[in-house]
Amino acid sequence: MPTLEIDGQEVQVEEGSTIIQATEKLGIYVPRYCYHPGMSIAGSCRMCMVEVENMPKLAIACYTPVSDGMKVSTTSEKVLKGRRDMLEFLLHNHPLDCPVCDQSGECDLQNFYMEHGRYQSRFVENKFKKRKAFPIGPHVVLDQERCILCTRCTRFSDEVSKSHELGVFNRGDRSVIDLNPGKTLDNPYSGNVIDICPVGALTEREFRFQCRVWYLSTEESVCPGCSRGCNISIHYNQRRGYKAGGRRLQRLKPRFHPDINTWWMCDEGRFGYGFADQNRFEFPMLRLDGELQYAEWDEALDKAADTLKQAVDEHGAGSIGVIASPQLSNEELYLADKVFRQGLGVENVGFENPWQKDGFSDDFLIKGDKNPNTRGAREMGWDGDIKAILEKAASGEIKVLYLFLHDFAEEEAQALLDKAGTVIFHGSNQNHSSAKSDLVLASAVWAEKDGTFTNFEGRVQRFKAALQPLDESRRDVDILLDLAQRLGQQLVYNNAEDLFMEWFGMTYQDMNPQGENIENRGGSMPPPSSGSAGEQPSAN
Amino acid sequence: MPLYTLISKDFYNEDARDANWYKQNRQGFEGAEKAFEMSPEDIISEVKTSNLRGLGGAGFPTGIKWGFVPKDSGKPIYLAVNADESEPGTFKDKYIMTWDPHRLIEGIIITCWAIKAHVAYIYIRGEYVRPYEHLQRAIDQAYEEGILGDKVMGRDFKLDVYIHRGAGAYICGEETGLLESLEGKKGWPRLKPPFPAVVGAFGSPTVVNNVETIAHVPEIIKQGGQWFADLGCEKNGGTRLMCVSGHVNKPDVYEIQLGTPLYELIYDHAGGIVDGKKMKAVIPGGSSAKVLTAEEADCDCSIEALQAAGSMLGSGGVMVMHEDTCMVKALQVITSFYAHESCGQCTPCREGTGWLLRTLNRLLRGDGHPSDVDTMLDLSGNMQGTSICALSEAAAWPVESFILKFREEFDYIARHGRSMVAEKQSVPA
């Protein structure tokens, strides 16, 4: 293992590492455009140049291999001049339309120029005109003038998505990024090019002009879109409520995890957050005169508890069916288990929608199971025959059906629900099942609560609450605890973390393997039985 | 020193295009016969002795380059003959391919035997239609005569030669850009190392040599490396073709022994300056070489001597300018070429070439500003040593040298908005 010196600090790195990897180990950030650790080295932006002792020219940190005893400077006069010169060249044909550019605020051209740029412009020529702001796919808009030709996006489409949509056309300063003939940027991972574009050349159609990035707050989360459990950040806006039609959740971005999703996430997950702000139950509802109408929480919970109690008292626990959901967190499933199975003695349980077929999947990230916590629900023993439960409900054997989240849209299910007795719908969004219910307990979506999901390979991963529950809706744990109280059960938990503590035996804080890795692992743990987080192999 | 005719003997001789004529009158393919009796190592050391240096521009010692090919990589080895000849002012390789193609084929056979290659590609400039046709005809004939193919000249040695036509890009003359283009990709130069001798075409070891370099190989084998070395000067053996163009009376390709004075080439062989005018400047090695003033040009034609004079022998394209030449306009012509041909991969070259051109255009329009001259000088400095290939430097050197050596013309046009030299271009037909 060679030892080298960077800016006076010694560091030991693996044989064959590059200088940029060594700087990263020391926490030194070298400005870069074309370098991305997830793709091949282009070495063309010339921004990451560093000075190496005994080398006549500046060396690019992304490609130059380390050697024993090497002395590197990332801050020498020569290096700073090199960066200043490259930035001057890069801005030479850049339109400088920052005031109307969506990337403004998270643009590496802005960031590096503020730090290293040459503030006295020497450029008086006319800029080269290229094509501006045109869609190249369902999610991405391209602005060729803003492009600095780092080729991250073309390498992404060649090496990661392997769909080869993008290429570089023409030569010299007429070079442009464009779609290859006959192609559209519509691969299942197209949104990633927006993240890796260091400038405003590739922007998101959904997010364009919705919100300035400096109004956004972020929170670490896990994608609820499938059982892969990609690590993500939720970008939300609560300071400009009048913008974007009141949408709070603005966008999702992938968050690095070495074994699950690395730097990427799929479009399905990235753009699948609409349910957090649309079509929501904003308050609990009771069916009066055949229609679901506003109810106070006390009223709704009393009604729910009374119905359940009455059924148990009159017909026994067999008259209650509980259909849990693989969309619920481990904490909620654990609590529901306490309330219904242990508390009331319910045995008619299930969680997997029998009509739901596996969706699109591939051998990269996307899993066919579109639920984030199927494995968690199964491990918690929620398996059961939902069809049988619905049939029992239709036949009158089950009097009260407590239904979490599920959307039973199929005719067969609808017909069974029509015949069922009391249906209590516990969920966040309006759907076909809720339309057939007698009582709605309005719950929070994943972005509004704390919890953990267990992904398909058994990793327990934490997601954090970014938002408050919409309007009067409440977090599921709070709803269930209030219900338990009304059912006369003594359950003493303050929040999801207490439940996690009891179930998993550690606090959320302890989950985060601090300092183990320079990358942010964001609190993801394999199950207690299978060794430490770092050793868990990544499976497909 | 008089002109020498080692490889230029048959220029304009149509008979020489025939393999049999070449065999009978020029001891054709005797070099290859002799080479087959030698071991590859002996050929490489013979070429090392000859001091043959790459004639495409960089002047890298050929024998040493061949020696870089790894012995046991388990991969096929390729020879790529660089016939892209796109440096402005250079037109020697097309003479070889048009008039003496069998000399090139013989050189390819010997080289492939030496580096153990069984496939050779000739990457020819797309604009070279006639040279391509003549070369292809010669290769076809070589196959018919059993000179190429499964049994090269009756020996147990297989060699196939393919011509690959470029699509007209200067950058594809850069060896790794050439290999990318050969592989069917966009001709963007590769990061180095690894060098082509280790990882070249299709991931395999590849020797990339200029046409003229290869054409010299048969005579080296026939007459010996030492004989070839003695023809030239120290460290720089043999003869080479010089392409003289510009304001001279007899622009043409001249074969000289290395070490011939540049003045002798221009005044004696190329007939001196048109209309008896005074020489103002010479670009000695293709347009990317630094310009020399008439005084500086008083040196010998050899890689070392021209380096000492502050320029380079490069591709041997000597461009002569007489006293009435506007150096700003001349630089604009050169710069517009580089701005057009920059591949656009690295930042400094992509943006720098276009910027320099636009500033020069503005100066020539009469809209200059006195600070423009310093800005151009600074930019050309920033373009050096900061890119993947040498095109950035090739574009920056002329700008730097023109401005440093003829600064008063640039300052004048920036201040007054018109050229200091009344333009009286008289390029001979």
ipTM field: 0.93
DSSP H helices, A8-104, are 19-26, 77-91
B172 and B185 in contact (C-beta within 8 Å)? no
The minimum CA-CA distance between A55 and chain B, rounded to whole Å, is 11
Torsion of CA A151, A154, A159, A162, to 10 degrees: 180
For A471, the token pair is 């309007």
**Residues from chain A contacting residue B388 (CB–CB below 8 Å):** 43-44
Nearest-Cα residue of chain A relative to residue B348: A89
A92 chain-B contacts, CB cut-off 8 A: 351, 354-355
Average pLDDT, rounded, for chain B: 94
Query: How is residue A265 written in tokens?
Result: 């996430």
In chain B, the percentage of residues whose pLDDT exceeds 70 is 98
Mean pLDDT of B401-421: 93
CA–CA dist B411, B417 (Å, integer): 10
Q: Name the strand (E) or helix (H) holding B44.
A: helix B40-49
Question: Are A86 and B386 within 8 A, CB to CB?
Answer: yes
Nearest to A92 among B342, B345, B355 (CB): B355
Place of tokens 């989360």: A221
CB contact under 8 A, A89 and B350: yes
The pLDDT of residue B427: 43
The confidence score (pLDDT) of residue A525 equals: 59
Q: What is the CA radius of gyration of chain B?
A: 22
Q: Which helix (H) or strand (E) holds A251?
A: strand A249-254
CA-based radius of gyration for chain A: 27
> Which residue type is seen at A246?
G
pLDDT digits over B74-119, tens only? 999 999 999 999 999 999 999 999 999 999 999 999 999 999 999 9
Which alpha helices (DSSP H) does A452-531 contain, by range?
A: 476-486, 496-504, 508-511
Strand partners, B246: B320
What is the per-residue pLDDT for A247? 85
- CB contact set of A297 (below 8 Å; sequence gap of 6+): A283, A284, A472, A474, A482
Q: Nearest CA of chain B to the CA of A172: how many Å?
A: 4
pLDDT above 50: residue B351:
yes
Query: Mean pLDDT throughout B49-67?
Result: 95
pLDDT of residue A511: 75
Q: How far apart are CA A411 and CA A370, in angstroms?
A: 21
The candidate with the shortest Cα–Cα distance to A39, out of A224, A197, A215, is: A197
pTM of the predicted structure, to 2 decimals: 0.91
Return d(Cα B403, Cα B406) in angstroms, integer.
5
> What residue in A sits closest to B359 (Cα-Cα)?
A125
pLDDT of residue A416: 93
Structure-block tokens of residue B339: 């701005």
Contacts of B22 (CB under 8 A, 6+ apart): B16, B28, B29, B100, B102, B103
Helix (H) or strand (E) holding B41: helix B40-49
Nearest C-alpha in B relative to A48: B386
The Cα-based distances of B159 to A470, B35, B77, B304 in angstroms read: 76, 15, 11, 36
Contact assignment for B353 to A172 by CB distance below 8 Å: yes
On whether the CB atoms of residues B200 and B206 are closer than 8 A, the answer is yes
Q: From residue B18, how far is each of A295, B140, B403 by CA, in Å?
A: 101, 11, 49
For A93, the closest of B191, B351, B388 (CB atoms) is B351
What local confidence, expressed as pLDDT, does residue B424 receive? 45
**In contact, A451 and A463? CB cutoff 8 Å:** yes
Q: How many Cα atoms sit within 13 Å of B245 on the Cβ side?
A: 16
> In the predicted model, is pLDDT for residue B245 greater than 60?
yes
A498 burial via Cβ count (<10 Å: 0-12, 13-18, 19+): middle
Note whether A122 contacts B339, CB cutoff 8 Å: no
| Cα of A216 to nearest chain B Cα, Å | 32
Interface of B with A (CB under 8 A): 169, 171, 186, 191, 339-348, 350-355, 358-359, 362, 369, 371, 375, 382, 385-388
Q: Is the pLDDT of residue B27 over 70?
A: yes
One-letter amino acid identity for B193? P
Selection from A48, A40, A42 nearest residue A72 by Cα:
A48
Measure the CA–CA gap between A291 and B273, rounded to whole angstroms. Answer: 103
Question: What confidence score (pLDDT) does residue A533 get?
Answer: 39
How far apart CA B316 and CA B254 sit, in angstroms, is: 10
Where is B214: in which H helix or E strand? helix B211-223
Closest chain A CA to residue B347: A45
Q: For every one of its 540 residues, what pLDDT tens digit does chain A have, with 9 covering 90 and above?
A: 899 999 999 999 999 999 999 999 999 999 999 999 999 999 999 999 999 999 999 999 999 999 999 999 999 999 999 999 999 999 999 999 999 999 999 999 999 999 999 888 888 899 999 999 999 999 999 999 999 999 999 999 999 999 999 999 999 999 999 999 999 999 999 999 999 999 999 999 999 998 899 999 999 999 999 999 999 999 998 876 666 677 899 999 999 988 899 999 999 999 999 999 889 999 999 999 999 999 999 999 999 999 999 999 999 999 999 999 999 999 999 999 999 999 999 999 999 999 988 999 999 999 999 999 999 999 999 999 999 999 999 999 999 999 999 999 999 999 999 999 999 999 999 999 999 999 999 999 999 999 999 999 888 899 999 999 998 999 999 999 999 999 999 999 999 999 998 988 888 877 754 333 333 334 555 554 433 333 333 333
For residue A63, give the chain B residue with the closest CA: B191
CB A191 within 8 A of CB A267: yes
Distances (CA, A) of B221 to B30, B48, B54, B209, B343: 9, 11, 17, 17, 38
The size of the A-B interface in CB pairs under 8 A is 91
Instruction: Report the share of chain B in percent with pLDDT over 90.
Output: 94
> Is residue B55 within 8 Å of residue B210, measured between CB atoms?
yes
Inter-chain CB proximity B358 and A125 less than 8 Å: yes
CB within 8 Å: B385 and A57: yes
Using CA coordinates, name the residue in chain B closest to A44. Answer: B346
Give the mutation candidate from B185, B342, B347 for the A interface (greatest A CB count, under 10 A): B347
8 Å CB contact of A148 and B347:
yes
pLDDT for the residue B423? 47
